[in-house]
Copies of this chain bind each other. A is one copy, B any other.
Amino acid sequence: MKLLENQIKAHGQVLGENILKVDSFLTHQVDPTLMREIAKRFAEIYDKAGITKIVTIEASGIAPALYTAEMLGLPMVFAKKSKNVTMNDAVLSTEVFSFTKQVSSRVSISRKFISKNDKILIIDDFLANGQAALGLLQLIEQAQAEVAGIGIVIEKSFQAGRQLLLDKGIKLTSLARIEKFEKGQVLFAVADDAEFDEK
């Protein structure tokens, strides 16, 4: 998605070997207008896919997931990273390992929000090693629901996540794919939605 790539070029900061900081429009401060454009793209691609629910993980996934849900006329569910006092129902739950933080943490969704009749589109802000996405896939599998695809705002294509998901036969839609960082600049691979830019 050209608009997104341009935002990354203009406002993203490359930190060290493999970190891209996009806290001015996605992960800390959020630009609602850009989120809406991102959601439009996901909705365009998954419009006819029979999706029944959007699933993401707190916190940075919520903004793009929420708008995508609205555009498809669906509810959005965000997986929680810690068990809440009011979360007394049966839960779908799994461990997610963070390479950045080098710790595992538990991720949960109340079972009542995903049924085996659901067809789910997962939306997340970043794909790197794919552990968060794998965790969400496991939760959805526990509920015996179907996954129609995974929509990612920014993919770090030089890390393991993409191949991991493709190997599982999952449809992956990354709107910006980072090939590598070079001298503090971002070099992009062809995004999964590139054909929609041409329209």
Interface of A toward B, CB cutoff 8 Å = 15, 19, 21, 23-25, 27-33, 35-36, 58-59, 62-63, 66-67, 69-70, 75-78, 80, 84-88, 100-101, 109-110, 113
Contacts and interface: CB of A to CB of B under 8 A. Distances in A.
Given A58-B59, A63-B62, A76 B30 contact: yes
B87 A101 contact: no
A114 to B, nearest CB: 10
Q: How many monomers of this chain does the complex have? A: 2
A102 to B, nearest CB: 10
Shortest 6 CB-CB contacts between residues of A and residues of B: A32-B70, A58-B59, A59-B59, A21-B86, A62-B62, A29-B77
A110 B30 CA distance: 13
A59 B107 CA distance: 14
